[in-house]
């Protein structure tokens, strides 16, 4: 009996492993930054580069950091959702304009609408490196204590917004500062 | 005849020269190093760090924007006198063990490192079990009486 059962069990185990492997997205690399403090930055504001926004300015509230660029095609896919999210006014959405030119970025926002409460410019991508950015767009959810609680790689889709972002934002809003 | 042979020789040299193509590397920015050790460290690092956009290339091989930025980061850190280990720590803090082609041995990467040895071990054990079982299945072909007779024949030569 075992003689026939054992190969069958081995086959099932292998099949399960392969099936799970098929579902995994190799482009989604778990970020080591989860549950770590959001790296500090002090970057010029897109709307007025003489002003500087620091990561520490945002402490005490739940906020989202969305990494985007005018050259990024899939940023356009998630853009309507960001506009929708901004309308809900659950948490400030901060844009990290990544390796972009301010003129192009401003033009893009005029054309597609601006969901961001504020945008900062990371022209040379150094803050991007600090945040482990490798696939624009990326979206971070940061809690009141300035800890990164979630990182989303690639465009946000409606399911992500409803199942991940909204419940998480509500949960974090309920936490003490 | 001689001219033809010479032409053929030249052609042959040309063919050999054409074979002599250096692997084209993308990491071609000119970098100025004060010490050769630093340059060596730079080369080691950029050949050990993975480009996360094009996952099967090192940042030395890749032409992606991120790879360029990471090469610049490595160069700057080395210029600031940081050690190789410090650069590796900087990268893994941000991008995780995945950024290393040779990740450090830890709880998370243990299976990755030991997996092949584990499977080899399982294979060898299975092989051993199968061989043993096969061996025990083979019955002695001759009875004791037949064996003594065989020995006798082998010693004295065929007599019947």
pLDDT at B2 over 80: no
pLDDT above 90 coverage of chain A, percent: 84
Mean pLDDT of chain A: 92
How many helices (DSSP H) and strands (DSSP E) are in chain A?
6, 7
Residues in chain A closer than 8 A to B70 (CB atoms): 129
- pLDDT value at position A101? 94
pLDDT at B160 over 80: no
Task: Please give the C-alpha separations between residue B94 and each of A131, A143, B7, B11, B81, in angstroms, as whole numbers.
Answer: 6, 19, 59, 53, 20
Instruction: Please judge whether A134 and B53 are an interchain contact, meaning their C-beta atoms are less than 8 angstroms apart.
Output: yes
Q: Is the entire prediction scored with pTM above 0.90?
A: no
Instruction: Please judge whether B96 and A31 are an interchain contact, meaning their C-beta atoms are less than 8 angstroms apart.
Output: yes
Average pLDDT (A102-112) is 95
- pLDDT value at position A177? 73
**What are the phi and psi torsion angles at B134 (to 5°)?**
-60, -40
Burial B69-89 (b: 16+ CB within 10 A, else e): bbbbbbbebbeeeeebeebbe
Residues in chain A closer than 8 A to B66 (CB atoms): 125, 134
- pLDDT value at position A130? 95
Domains observed in chain A: 34-174 (3.40.30.10)
- pLDDT value at position B21? 54
- pLDDT value at position B94? 93
CA distance A29 to chain B (A): 7
Task: Give the residue among A130, A77, A70, A65 at the shortest CA–CA distance from A99.
Answer: A70
Q: Which of residues 46-85 of B touch A (CB under 8 A)?
A: 52-53, 55, 65-66, 69-70, 73
pLDDT tens, B122-151?
999 999 999 998 888 777 777 888 888 888
Higher pLDDT, A16 or B156: A16
Residue B116 pLDDT class (50, 70, 90 cuts): very high
Instruction: Please judge whether A32 and B94 are an interchain contact, meaning their C-beta atoms are less than 8 angstroms apart.
Output: yes
Half-sphere exposure for A38 (CA within 13 Å, toward CB): 28
Residue A23 pLDDT class (50, 70, 90 cuts): confident
Nearest chain B Cα to A34, which residue?
B94
Residue B158 pLDDT class (50, 70, 90 cuts): low
If residue B115 lies in a helix (H) or strand (E), which one and from where to where? helix B110-137
CA distance B80 to chain A (A): 16
The residue with tokens 């091989």 is B61
pLDDT tens, B9-62?
888 877 777 665 555 445 567 888 888 888 999 999 999 999 888 878 999 998
The residue with tokens 């504001």 is A45
Residues in chain A closer than 8 A to B96 (CB atoms): 29-32, 132
Higher pLDDT, B96 or A30: B96
pLDDT at B156 over 90: no
Give the whole-angstrom CA distance, residue B33 versus residue B77: 12
Q: Which one of B55, B92, B94 has the shortest CB-CB distance to A129? A: B94
pLDDT tens, B62-88?
888 899 999 999 999 999 999 999 999
Average pLDDT (A159-170) is 93
């Amino acid at each position: 009996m075992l003689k026939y059962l054992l190969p069958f069990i081995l086959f099932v185990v292998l099949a399960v492993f392969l099936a799970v492997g098929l579902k995994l997205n190799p482009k989604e690399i778990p970020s080591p930054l989860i549950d770590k403090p959001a790296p500090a930055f002090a970057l010029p504001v897109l709307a007025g580069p003489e002003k500087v926004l620091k990561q520490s300015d945002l402490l005490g509230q739940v906020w989202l950091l969305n990494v985007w660029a005018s050259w990024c095609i899939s940023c356009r896919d998630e853009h309507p959702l960001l506009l929708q999210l901004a309308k809900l006014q659950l948490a400030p959405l901060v844009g990290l304009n990544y390796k972009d030119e301010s003129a192009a970025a401003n033009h893009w926002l005029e054309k597609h609408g601006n969901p961001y409460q504020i945008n900062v410019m990371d022209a040379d991508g150094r803050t991007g490196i600090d945040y482990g950015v490798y696939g624009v767009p990326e979206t971070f959810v940061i809690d009141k204590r300035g800890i990164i609680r979630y990182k989303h790689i690639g465009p946000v889709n409606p399911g992500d917004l409803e199942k991940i972002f909204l419940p998480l934002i509500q949960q974090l809003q309920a936490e003490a500062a | 005849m001689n001219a033809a042979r010479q032409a053929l020789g030249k052609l042959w040299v040309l063919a050999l020269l054409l074979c002599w193509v250096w692997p084209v590397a993308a990491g071609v920015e000119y970098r100025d190093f004060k010490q050769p050790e630093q340059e060596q460290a730079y080369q080691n690092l950029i050949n050990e760090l993975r480009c996360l956009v094009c996952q099967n290339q090192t940042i030395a091989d890749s032409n992606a924007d991120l790879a360029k930025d990471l090469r610049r980061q490595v160069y700057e850190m080395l210029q600031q006198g940081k050690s190789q280990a410090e650069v590796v720590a900087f990268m893994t803090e941000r991008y995780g063990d995945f950024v290393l082609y040779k990740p450090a041995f830890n709880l998370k990467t243990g299976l990755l490192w030991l997996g092949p040895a584990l499977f080899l071990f399982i294979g060898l054990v299975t092989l051993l079990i199968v061989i043993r079982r096969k061996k025990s299945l083979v019955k002695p072909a001759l009875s004791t009486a037949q064996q003594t007779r065989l020995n006798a024949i082998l010693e004295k030569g065929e007599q019947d």
